[in-house]
Chain A
Amino acid sequence: NAGVTQTPKFQVLKTGQSMTLQCAQDMNHNSMYWYRQDPGMGLRLIYYSASEGTTDKGEVPNGYNVSRLNKREFSLRLESAAPSQTSVYFCASSEVTRGNTEAFFGQGTRLTVV
């Protein structure tokens, strides 16, 4: 089982460039999430999608946009990358029919903006 798949695994961008991080899950989950992980900050929620067709801002949405393309796929776009967006990005999915279900994470995308 693939679970949650993120691409690419590594990326280097120049300041001002744009890119899209891709995420797909094969567990038929309704909810999907994008987090960023920075040293000493833990994981911070960027955006989430409670179900297909909906998206909502998390703690740190500025500089990002998302698209819930279908139930499987949830992409994160950086329109004009900045050095402050250097981070490790994780996509996750969960089935939230009950509040106690855990999230499943992808392997992460390590992004460096120079």
Chain B
Amino acid sequence: GNSVTQMEGPVTLSEEAFLTINCTYTATGYPSLFWYVQYPGEGLQLLLKATKADDKGSNKGFEATYRKETTSFHLEKGSVQVSDSAVYFCALRGGSNYKLTFGKGTLLTVNP
């Protein structure tokens, strides 16, 4: 079956630091890949997505590239802000599968 493995947190950074959150996946076929963000007390919001190999998703300064050869979709941001403090989830949907499969989430705390 499909599965997503993302780096365990928590991750604590200072403002303006570089962020990487690793995500690797197992899936048959050609899944679509997503990063969701959950701010405290809220539901999940889509941060970015990529639907085929070598696609780069980007939003709000965050980027992730769909690497089929390494089955990875790592999230990066060049300079984090305090407002980026949240839980980040990597997820995939495989082909015609209706279900989204999530990683366990990574808590990011950014200190001023």
Contact = CB atoms under 8 A, between A and B. Distances in A.
A103 B93 CA distance: 10
A94 B46 CA distance: 12
Interface stretch (A11-19, A37-45, A67-75, A79-87): A37-45
How would you classify the secondary structure of chain B's contact residues: helix, strand, loop or mixed? loop
A110 to B, nearest CB: 9
Given A42-B89, A43-B89, A105 B99 contact: no
A102 B98 CA distance: 10
Contacts of B105: 42-43
A106 B36 CA distance: 13
A25 interface: no
Interface string A71-114: 00000000000000000001010101001111111111000000
Contacts of B89: 42-43
Given A41-B104, A107-B42, A107-B43, A99 B95 contact: yes
B43 A100 contact: no
Interface of B: 31-32, 34, 36, 42-46, 49, 51, 89, 93-105
